[in-house]
Amino acid sequence: MTEVVAKTDFKIKPLIPVTQALENLLADAKTDLLVEQVDLKSALGRTLAERPIALVDVPPQDNSSMDGYAVAMISLNAQGSTILPLSQRIAAGDDPQPLAAGTVARIFTGAEIPLGADAVIMQEQVSVDQAGVHLPDSINDRQNIRPRGQDLLSGEILQPVGKKLQAADIGVLASAGIANVSVYRALKIAILSTGDELLEPGDPVAPGKIYNSNRAMLTALIQQLGMQVVDIGKVADTFAATRQALAKAADCADLIISTGGVSVGEEDHIKAAVDSLGALDMWRIKLKPGKPLAYGRVKGTPIFGLPGNPASALITFCLFARPYMTKLQGGLVVKPLSFKVIAAFEHLKAGSREEYLRAIYNDGEVQPFKNQSSGMLSTASRANGLIVIPVDAVIQRGELVDFIPFSELLA
């Protein structure tokens, strides 16, 4: 059998700008998705494959927005306050009787408005004694009444295809009487780590070794997207082992994510292994940190080769892998929200790459951590977002800069 050898004749091409790289990736994200039905208890984080439609009006009847007294406007004294007898008591869930003419009904928040009533007076504005219920003047028609269908109308489309369901979405579906939804089958994402220096948490400390943070971090990131993790494990720093692991991953997953081995060192084998099994379509982004990001296909299965340094792996996942995976899952890709904030720092050395600084935003100002090493993951844990520094930009203290909260990238 002929031995497969690594190709080492990679031609170094110009760095790809961040925006162009993302556009290229999203244009290449194509998949055939299966659809399944799940109940609402299992729907969190899943991607809708059909548009759910409200089965009922919400609320289903006019109801009271507070505790008080329901009255017919026609029974009120136009010259001042009114005293009326109490005819019934209506709690939430009761089926009320029509309001008797010339009376009021004691009513509680959420209770259905009785036929004939067209206003609710809050209990704090009412007094009750042996003479009856004393109502104030200046009562407005329909006051304190939530009308039928105020929130949702029967037949209304509730969410679009491709929506990733969050807790509030599931609450809306439940309120509309929906018990099950059609969602896309969760993608299987294979992860593998390269590096003979890696130990797994719990292993005894050893000289020259470091604990593998990328494996646990990627597992969490993928699970947050509602996808399944296929853990291929740690791969030895050899071309043969890397190639074998990639082939295995391609056979059992919809997408492969590796960390490490995408630079230009003698122990970096991802690029060569991908090339031997498929094609490396993109490598080296005009980005800091995260320049050596790789993308291609292994036996037809897409692969992201993320940098081994954990901060670089996190940022490249958020900027590139996450939106790609969202589209691959059938989801709607939405540009993360960013906003202008005041720079509480100076950035006086213009860079040739678009830079993403881990930072703390507080009270209108943002301050980056002093150490932006791509190997420091603790700053990403302590930060609440990223400052975006454009190519060739110089930032003076007090200027406005773009800030992307981690809530837009990690949820």
Which residues touch 28 (CB under 8 Å, ≥6 apart)?
A: 281, 302
Q: Tell me what the mean pLDDT of segment 55-73 comes to.
A: 98
Mean pLDDT of 237-251: 95
pLDDT category, 191, cuts 50, 70, 90? very high
List CB contacts of 115: < 8 A, sequence separation 6 or more: 96, 98, 99
How much is the pLDDT for 395?
98
pLDDT at 13: 79
Give the whole-angstrom CA distance, residue 119 versus residue 145: 7
Domain 339-408 indexed as CATH 2.40.340.10: yes
Lowest pLDDT segment from 105-109, 252-256, 306-310: 306-310
What is the pLDDT at residue 130?
Answer: 96
Q: What's the CA gap between 307 and 310, in Å, rounded? A: 8
Look at residue 2 in the predicted model and tell me its pLDDT.
47
Closest by CA to 113, choosing from 62, 183, 171, is 62
- pLDDT, mean of residues 145-153: 98
Share above pLDDT 90 across residues of the chain, in percent, rounded to a whole number: 90
If you average pLDDT over residues 254-261, what whole number do you get? 94
Residue 208 has what pLDDT? 92
88: closest CA among 111, 60, 65? 111
The pLDDT value recorded for residue 12 is 67
Domain 18-32+187-328: homologous superfamily in CATH: MoaB/Mog-like domain (3.40.980.10)
pLDDT mean over 311-318 = 97
- Is the pLDDT at 20 greater than 90, yes or no? yes
> Quick one: pLDDT at residue 182?
98
- Put residue 60 in one of left, alpha, beta given phi > 0 → left and psi -120 to 50 → alpha: alpha
Q: Per residue in 65-110, pLDDT tens?
A: 999 999 999 999 988 889 999 999 999 999 999 999 999 999 999 9
Angle (nearest 5°) at CA 196 between 190 and 197: 110
What is the rounded average pLDDT of the residues 231-249?
94
Q: Which fold has domain 35-57+155-184?
A: Molybdopterin biosynthesis moea protein, domain 2 (3.90.105)
How much is the pLDDT for 51? 98
Averaged pLDDT of the chain: 94
Look at residue 265 and tell me whether its pLDDT is greater than 70. Answer: no
Chain segment 267-296, per-residue pLDDT in tens: 678 989 999 999 999 999 999 999 999 999
pLDDT at 404 over 90: yes
pLDDT digits 0-9 by tens, 352-391: 999 999 999 999 999 999 999 999 999 999 999 999 999 9
Instruction: Please tell me the distance from the alpha carbon of residue 146 to that of residue 198, in angstroms, as a whole number.
Output: 60
Among candidate residues 288, 294, 281, the one with its CA nearest the CA of residue 312: 288
Please check the confidence at residue 126 and state whether its pLDDT lies above 90.
Answer: yes
In terms of Cα–Cα distance, which of 202, 174, 195, 222 is closest to 52?
A: 174
Strand partners, 101: none
pLDDT at residue 266 greater than cutoff 70: no
Mean pLDDT of all residues in 14-33: 95
Which is the CATH superfamily of the domain at 63-146? Molybdopterin biosynthesis moea protein, domain 3. (2.170.190.11)
- Considering only CA atoms, which of 94, 110, 104, 111 is closest in space to residue 72? 104
113-122 mean pLDDT: 98
For residue 186, is pLDDT > 50?
A: yes
**Global confidence as pTM:** 0.89
Residue ranges per structural domain of the chain: 18-32+187-328, 35-57+155-184, 63-146, 339-408
